[in-house]
Structure 1
């Protein structure tokens, strides 16, 4: 399980870096778990250099809500269908891509909506599915969690949130004081707060200190975003329960990505090329290739907890850990920060994001 978790976290960090490079100042929200699970289904049918590239970019296995939609005239190998059912509980639904591509698109979108409690709608835009489509792999993940220590609505008030690009914006800022796992790393000016959910999940918020001049502190933090650093910063031995004044904005993000280019930058190139892709493990020849990878993710953070959903479709610096924290710490998220939702036992990152602009 540790190897799986490490692989997922590596993939999460690498993918985040590619998305951040493409958009250095905007909001980001993805589910690396959803994406890597869908890619893993493709990996079952990949051979040769295509498989090698995919294994280097992302290799993660977890049972989520999965489904395959295959053209009813295509002959997919029984071994591939057996493997997707065995490892991912993903059945193949035979559909008529050739005769009714848009009806198939709508059917897929309806399934995704159902799996994400209607949070992810219209995953596949008109024109995404065509008469040339032969296989669509869909993965959906949905999470709704309640804070172990909810915020009192009476303590929420309007405050300023300072963006690095657009100046100050007004937000609904939640507040509470309580005992939470907390860490301050003075060498990089970073506060880390863990807000547990009821159950086995937690949200971690990485808040860099504000600076009047110099480089963007959030981008400087992102350069240090690696699996090794995340593990070191957030492991139990380095975070201690402190009394913390917490100010956290209510926020809602819905982000949509075409992941062909980011995944290609991680080394997955052949799988998208007709004539180069080797997905012969799916149907016995090399005619299949992945035309597109679409990912849409939603998150809402409020006084009660967090609601998040995602769907994916596929056509080291040393840090000192002295604890210079006063008895009462102040964690005021009134400027851009990173956050992720993680399963406590496995350390797998379900969702990862950057909140930089309300």
Structure 2
């Protein structure tokens, strides 16, 4: 996903420690690091738990905002942790109402530096060791700056300690198109080609001075794959009431399962958890009853999602699940405004970002998101790109298997079951390619 900010800044120099040629056709960026390698910032267990819960609540808020006003009828995937990380890289430079509104939207009461440290620590904890048959989860965080633009040393140190973020310099002023290609190429590289053209031609201009990016890539095999021989075409009932045949997987297995009611008018739902191999990561599927999807989504909030996930217990499940693959891009300015983030767009105070001597103010110009997900018999591949640009202006096994045939719209969540950190959240309303 992508987060873009813009403001006019002065161009006092940054002392570079080294340089490398950047990806793509843009100008070769310099790589700038803080002078002393940063020690990874730490957070106590209470701060980690609070930040994971906050990211979950922020993700549900954003999901509901994106599915309001008719949005419940479309496929959607977003990365709560990716956007939270991008905003956590902005927050240490925010002041006054700008910082207060961002903190409230992110559901955090921690100081900006502690929130950044906790977010970065959660990101590191979610990364499994990986391996041939395991889960691969990678993320990279980068700050791009206009050549000659000074950054506050304390701000740089906070990002370096929390996210291992250095600085790449490029010339947005003279070559915005080439700089955009360089930024996009690095995000594409870090997501294994899954997120392309994160920034559009109008997003990076000669007035751009800073761009922050977060790239997240997941490739995970199911702990127990779906047998390919069990896949067949089965009807899937879309929100408009029509049904169409889709490629549907099937398996009968011991899985964590729950059922209940919730949302508007208490629609019945079923939920199941599919663990990935070699990690604490899992995909949770929440399936409202036929005809109740839109009401369920309108009434979904973080406490209800917590209750659903907290009620999962081992059952024998006769499960069917459609294969699906799609990507979504979203303009997030309006959804963030609906969450109370206004000062950042209107009268921002990001005075903690520029270094001494910089006079001009910063403000957020645009926020967009791009993410992709693919699910099949073997597992899941998902990716998200996030960017910030700153420029001018277990229970006893029952004998009988419960049946969950997912032939209707459903919500999905990829999370770290150990920390509760949500990596991806979305919905499938039409799994046809």
The answer as to 2:298 corresponding to 1:251 is no
Contact 1:340-1:352 at 8 Å conserved across structures: yes
Shift of 1:224: 3.2
Q: Which residue number corresponds to residue 308 of structure 1?
A: 382
Kindly indicate whether residue 49 of structure 2 is the aligned counterpart of residue 2 of structure 1: yes
C-alpha distance in structure 1 between counterparts of 2:156 and 2:54, whole Å: 25
2:182 counterpart of 1:72: no
> Structure 2: how far apart are the matches of 1:290 and 1:50?
10
Instruction: Give the secondary-structure state (helix, strand or coil) at the position aligned to 1:291.
Output: strand
1:37 to 60, 68, 85: 85
The within-5 A match list for 1:271-290 is 271-273=344-346, 276-283=347-354, 285=359, 287-290=361-364
1:77-110 Cα distance to aligned partner (Å, 9 max, x none): 1111111111111111111000000111000111
Give distance in 2, aligned partners of 1:166 and 1:94: 52
Alignment partners' CA distance in 2, 1:45 and 1:300: 36
CA deviation after TM superposition for structure 1 residue 38, in Å: 0.2
Match for residue 105 of structure 2 among 34, 43, 57:
57
Choose from 104, 112, 130 the match for 2:205: 130
Aligned to 1:95: 170
> TM-score scaled to structure 1, two decimals?
0.92
**Residue 326 of structure 1: how far off its partner (Å):** 8.0
| Whole-angstrom CA distance in 2 between matches of 1:210 and 1:157 | 21
| Structure 1 residue 166: Cα displacement | 6.5
In 1, distance between residues paired with 2:363 and 2:241? 41
CA shift, 1:220, in A, is 1.7
| CA distance in 2 between partners of 1:240 and 1:268 (Å) | 38
> Which residue pairs with 2:12 in the alignment?
none
Q: Which residue of 2 aligns with 1:331?
A: 404
Structure 1 moving runs of 4+ over 3 Å? none
Trace 1:205-354 onto structure 2 (pairs within 5 A).
205-211=285-291, 217-235=292-310, 238-273=311-346, 276-283=347-354, 285=359, 287-315=361-389, 327-354=400-427
CA distance in 2, matches of 1:134, 1:87: 22
Aligned to 2:24: none
CA distance in 2, matches of 1:243, 1:154: 20
Q: Secondary structure at the match of 1:49?
A: helix
40, 54, 64: which one pairs with 1:17?
64
Work out whether 1:26 is the aligned partner of 2:74. Answer: yes
State the shift of 1:127 in Å: 2.3
Q: Which of 241, 258, 272 matches 1:193? A: 272
Unaligned runs of 5+ in 2: 1-47, 109-114, 124-138, 390-395
Contact 1:30 1:351 in 2 (8 A): yes
* 1:75-86 equivalence runs, <5 A: 75-86=150-161
285 and 345 in structure 1: CA distance in 2 versus 1, 3 angstrom threshold: farther
Query: What residue ranges of structure 1 are gaps of 5+ in the alignment?
Result: 212-216, 316-322
Q: Paired residues, what number?
A: 341
Separation in 2, partners of 1:291, 1:314: 10
Aligned equivalent of 2:429:
356
